[in-house]
Amino acid sequence: MKPMLSRLWAYVRPHVWMLVVSLSLVSVVGLLEAATPFLIGIIFDTVLKASATPVIVIPFVNAQFDLSASDGTIFLVLLIVATAVKAAAEYGSVNVTAYVGQAVVRDLRNGLFERILLQPLRFFHSNPTGELISRVSADVERIQTVASETLAEFLKQAAILIFLLITIFAIDWKLAATSLVLAPLVFYPTVWFGKRLRLLSRSNQQEMAEMANILYETLAGNRIVKAFSMEKAEAGRFRKVTQRVFKLNLRQRMTHSLSSPLMEILGVFVVAAFLLYARSQIANQRMTVGLFVAFIIALIKLYDPVRRMSGINNSFQQAFGASGRIFEILELETERDSGRAALPRFSDRIEFDDVHFAYESGVPVLDGISLTVRHGEVLAIVGSSGAGKTTLVNLLPRFYDLTHGRILIDGKDIRDFQLHSLRQQIAIVTQDVILFNDTIRANIAYGGPAAGEDAIRRAAKAALVDEFVTSFDTRIGERGLRLSGGERQRLSIARALLKDAPILILDEATSSLDTQSEALVQQALENLMEGRTTIVIAHRLSTVRRADRIIALADGRIKESGTHEELVLRRGLYWKLYNLQFQTWRPMPTQEAAEGGSR
């Protein structure tokens, strides 16, 4: 728990002065809360004349004040003033503490989101999106409640507890000392319940993350779910998780609710013992009726913060369970950026020098790739699925680091350049188009946030976006679902055009489009490729025929290299892939005959 508190303190430290103000205010609350029983006791002795000779005795110094001549009016006024000041201080402390708590949660959530953003691509392959969303939302939400509401309550109750302890020691130190002996009977269950709730909270947060992940996958892939008629199966999978969450929440609630009644039972035994002792003190005239009333009130008031501390401790333990999951992310190393220099604008060539790469140790994906891409050249990469095409181009912007070898831009190792500087010179258009739930203008401007309206419209025109856009302020929906596949692709091309990067990567950019959409997207791509060094990955070999050079990958190695005509004449891997695709798409003779007969 100590390491967890020290980590959280790092987020509290910037707001320490506000915390000091809050502590000052709750100290006033605690002091006045403790003074109230004394004032009530004096009022009993003076206004109600409960004692024949009311005397205030200050312990330890044995100073005495005779109040027999007072009618108690001044003490009634003091009680009213103390109550009003206490209410104002309590209002201020709650709001100041809420400010600190909300500020801490804001910084924590921002830090968590930024740390996730700065993780390498490999991180997202092993951490489901739904679970990451759960950590940023549900886990931080648990801390938010504790850091604002529960923290304010804790500071207030702690101050009241301290000053009430001082009060009961001032009235009768022997009775107060006895209470300390009995305290472990009250606090041990608190510790046990706290540990139990922390474990249950952590399990609950993990199940909530799993539920969020299933929810995200099912909603994002709703077309696939419907296409395979898997609604019942997905509903069943979701019900299993919610049942586990239900059981954990029930166990958590039962554990939480059991702590207060148990504390109450123990408290009754303690109060009974105190009352028996107090009766003896009054009988021996060692205490006035007013002081006895003050002690009883202080004792009752003391029970309330002790009882509340049990619930507060339970809430803190639940928050610690959630914060453990948050700090697991915050303590991860960010994407390694070994570069120090800024990369000048690309002007000559890209070299892959004996490049090896493996996602897992001992399982090579690329095995000794060496090739050079000249400035302005269009290089096409073909091969069967799993040959390493996408992996190869992902190494250029350093989404992954090489296992062995080098990649050079203009003769310099890309690892010597800052990641931001390197990636600014590379634009990527992929099959899986990622757009944001914003306007068309904002999605195009994502490629150049500082670009003006004219630049955005020029990019839109070059990408043929203006053919389907009536207003650049139209929102396109989540992931651009209000647009067709071809329209989404053209929007992503406009985004790449606005970035104006000298290196372009096209990864299966037209593979999921129909013939008409592909023709429009192909025209937009030609506008995008003009004057740029382009690396094209495509399953449809018809889209790479006009490339300056084609390389064929298999088993992580370059098997062939040349133009379309040269590779067809060699009758090697490319020729086989080309023929296989041609035969797949060419109509069968019987089909042609049937179509001719129908005419």
> Per residue in 76-119, pLDDT tens?
888 899 999 999 998 998 898 888 888 888 888 898 899 998 88
Cα–Cα distance, 347 to 155 (Å, whole number): 63
Residue 59 lies in a domain: yes
Q: What's 76-108 look like in SS3? A: HHHHHHHHHHHHHHHHHHHHHHHHHHHHHHHHH
Taking the C-alpha atoms of residue 347 and residue 23, their distance in angstroms, rounded to an integer, is: 62
pLDDT attached to residue 549: 93
CATH (domain of 311): 1.20.1560.10
Tell me what pLDDT residue 406 has: 94
The pLDDT tens digits for 463-479 are 888 888 888 898 988 87
In a domain, 55, yes or no: yes
Min mean pLDDT across 54-63, 179-188, 274-283 is at: 54-63
Least confident range from 122-126, 284-288, 522-526, 565-569: namely: 284-288
Domain presence at residue 396: no
In this prediction, residue 279 has a pLDDT band, given cuts at 50, 70 and 90, of confident
Total number of domains constituting the chain: 1
pLDDT in tens, 115-165: 998 888 888 888 888 888 888 887 887 777 777 777 778 888 888 888 888
Residue 254: pLDDT band with limits 50, 70, 90: confident
Residue 362 domain-assigned (yes or no): no
Please indicate, yes or no, if residue 168 is contained in any of the structural domains: yes
Task: Identify the domain containing residue 324 by its residue range.
Answer: 2-330
Q: How far apart are CA 332 and CA 81, in angstroms?
A: 54
Q: Is the pLDDT of residue 587 over 50?
A: no
Q: What's the pLDDT score for residue 366? A: 92
- Per-residue pLDDT, averaged over 4-24, amounts to 83
pLDDT mean across residues, the chain: 81
* 35 within a domain of the structure (yes/no): yes
- The string of pLDDT tens digits covering residues 168-203 is 888 777 777 776 676 666 667 777 777 788 788 878
pLDDT of residue 591: 39
pLDDT tens per residue, range 354-389: 999 998 877 889 999 999 999 999 999 998 888 888
Pairwise CA distance, residues 318 & 311, whole Å: 11
What pLDDT, on the 0 to 100 scale, is given for residue 369?
92
Residue 56 lies in a domain: yes
For the chain, what's the residue count? 599
Render pLDDT for 478-509 as a digit per residue (tens, 0 to 9): 878 888 888 888 888 888 888 888 999 988 76
Facing residues of 66 across strands? 55
Q: What angle do CA 247, 249, 251 make, to 5 degrees?
A: 70
Mean pLDDT, to the nearest integer, of 210-215? 85
Q: Where do we find the tokens 């055009």?
A: 497
Q: Domain for residue 589, yes or no?
A: no
Residues of the chain above pLDDT 70, percent? 85
